[in-house]
Structure 1
């Protein structure tokens, strides 16, 4: 019987093979352990607006991410710094689960992508929790030519980002309210990559003025990067000053940054994150690094929405805009009713016009028969009386219809108090007002020539007319010698009234209206001149045409008609830009000079 001989491998060879084998067995056993909810981790990406640059964002917010990883070990949190340009695409593509951004961006993301606001950030300074922030408008302290909003005209302005709330939106609102339009009034407007770069550009004279969020300047001074004495800070308006606010500011203050979750983010994860963040206190490393104090439940962001509406920023870029189609769909029945009323008014106006034409034709026919003059004059007076009666009745009917129209408009306005349709109500109201003015014109035109011309004290007529005009700060200088008389229609006072009223309303910078009377050869010239904007050269004769002008267009037309009755002519001879000058030439036979003292 043979015996098998067992040969033993050398010890070194045994170790050579057994060590890898043992490692393989351990890895195999670890892979076979089932993965359960207790030992699995979920990746959670938190996007943060890097308003001071990517690296600064990591320095400020990585400690908060580390805190969350420690407080919630079931999840693995990752910081995703986002610039002003890529924060919206990151949310749109679902690259993050939560996002921390300024309230302007947060409002746009909520409207467009359905994000939900969870928390509001509170910063911390000198033992004080700060729940609001705003914008700071800066210039170099040695730029004495930049001390107000008007001084920004023609200047180079740099802002932190075109969707930065503190570094642009908040200041943009104040700039617009001061009558400045950046696209028209600034020499240039550029947007920087961060707030600190804005400050550097202003100090290095690359820009004349800059806009950053509150707290940036104090932070940069603490870090030794700037000295506040080198900068001029635009002061806030008194109406929204906030005594006790610890930072320098120029604008209204708004709620601080918002922490929001995306629509797809699991509610359980969101609740855990919110609870962990609400537990942060000012003495914790995460709070100190981010220079914050705490997180609170969301505050009221209505003031943010008001700002975005004012500047027409997302999601309110089309705020107040309504298309004609939408107007028709919403208010079809009211539009039909108003249209019918307008048609009735137009028909009544046409009736009045036809009646006036018949009057003129009848007058021409009666003048042809001189032999029957007395009978014709009697008939003409009777016709005029009846026609005036008809005109008066017609005007009365139109005024009643206008009253009904105005009542419907007022009722409609009250029922639909929406800024979307405000401009259409304004146009309807203006149309009604112009129709009423036209009716008044027909009444005044009927009175011309009804009474015989008489001698009138020119100085007294001008003074009386001036008392009927709402002059405001405009000063009337009546240098016509008392006792000077003109032979004219009794309505000549309306001529001077219209001249003064037109000057006050359309004279622009006008401060003074002067009347004088000069003798020139075989005539006298009554002058009305002012220091307003004057009349354009191509309009000097057209302003006397019926219907020409900014209001009803009848004032100067009536003035010329009244003066023509006694052969008085009127023309405009002023220099455009230097003021209007109306010269009324009176024939010598219709003029009596007064005696100077």
Structure 2
């Protein structure tokens, strides 16, 4: 029993395998696609060429031939995709596809009516029988119609005649219209008077007469060319008939088999009669087609802008994307720059405000130090003022005595009053000098350093006398040497240095209390030296002399020399100190003003 079931399962598996394999053997035919351009009626093109494909399907059962009747744009797309194996086209399209896609011409259709494959298609100018047209120049005054600008057997072939005649279609034709298909509608326009001339393919008038569409003698062909062996009247050169070509990917075995079967096709066959041709023959010379394309400037003798645009479209899109990204990047950078510029402007404004505040504080600090110096010189100031005030008191008493005496001397009284006035001005001058030193505003001006030193010595005159010192001023500089700076601040430096020199000699004998001020000129510098005969400084104290809060005085703040350094550096100058053994020398340099 088990063995029986095993045989049944084996038989069932074998049957299933055979059934699955059967459809594969039936559908194993290789599909061959043959493309045909359909400029007008796709159904008409299919009806014309389908019997030829049926003939190939019958003769070559290993292949399945399919007809693709498409518009030119669709044909280009199918060829780029490799979806077409063979194609049947007119001579112009065949040459253009050969140059663009590298197709190979296999056969040429032999036409009916005794025409040869080399000279089968041209253009005919159809006019009314009573219209006389002697040259192409007369077309400028006539209304011309044609089915399509791209019609090979119509407008295109005659366009070459116009160009080779030295004219351009745009200048020659005063009125030219392309009215579309069917081409028989052009006869109706001639009958109605809407047009004077119709451009149609060669032999189209003769076929229309034979088919009863046009009455015999109703129309004629104008500007007919003398072709004795051509059965129809034609107005242009003649060109080859339809051609069969294969694409590069098609196997040569398939191409040979197709060409062999088509060459065996007879004029009596259904395929030939339906296709309106006699038979197939070997490829013919297509040099006339190249001449046509060159004359009317079509591909490959002129750029095909549509194809070029299609091929460049991806690169154009990429360029557009790059430009958009570049613009977005530029816009982003612009925003960032604008934002950063605003931030920098705010920072600069804040910095300027801070700097102005610091300068204001520094000036207040300098002024406070000047006030402090004035306070230190207060005792000298009181001594200076006591002399003129005492003189004023004594002179006033003398004047009172003279006025009370019996003998009143008016001249003596006048002299006393004048002396009182002189002492008053002296006291006022002392007060104004100290007031100016403390409260005069800081301004940058052209400065004569000799005058500044002399004014500082006048300010310090009371202190010098009080400390029983002497000041020697050694001027080695010409009077025309000027500097640019703040006179108040520079006087503050001089007063500080003179004050320190005087204080440094408190322990000296009166004969050794000498402060020397030297003014000299060295290259581009104006040099001021203030030296004393005091005890000098230690090396450690000398190194820290210009640092804040460094002082050797019991009641000093240690800010005077730091202020001097800042003021000199603010004037782009230099300041230094050195021991003289005995004494100390402070030297500062200021840049001369350019003459």
Greater C-alpha Rg: 2
What interval of TM-score do these two structures reach, taking the shorter chain for normalisation?
Answer: 0.3 to 0.5
How high is the TM-score relative to the length of structure 2? 0.45
How high is the TM-score relative to the length of structure 1? 0.45
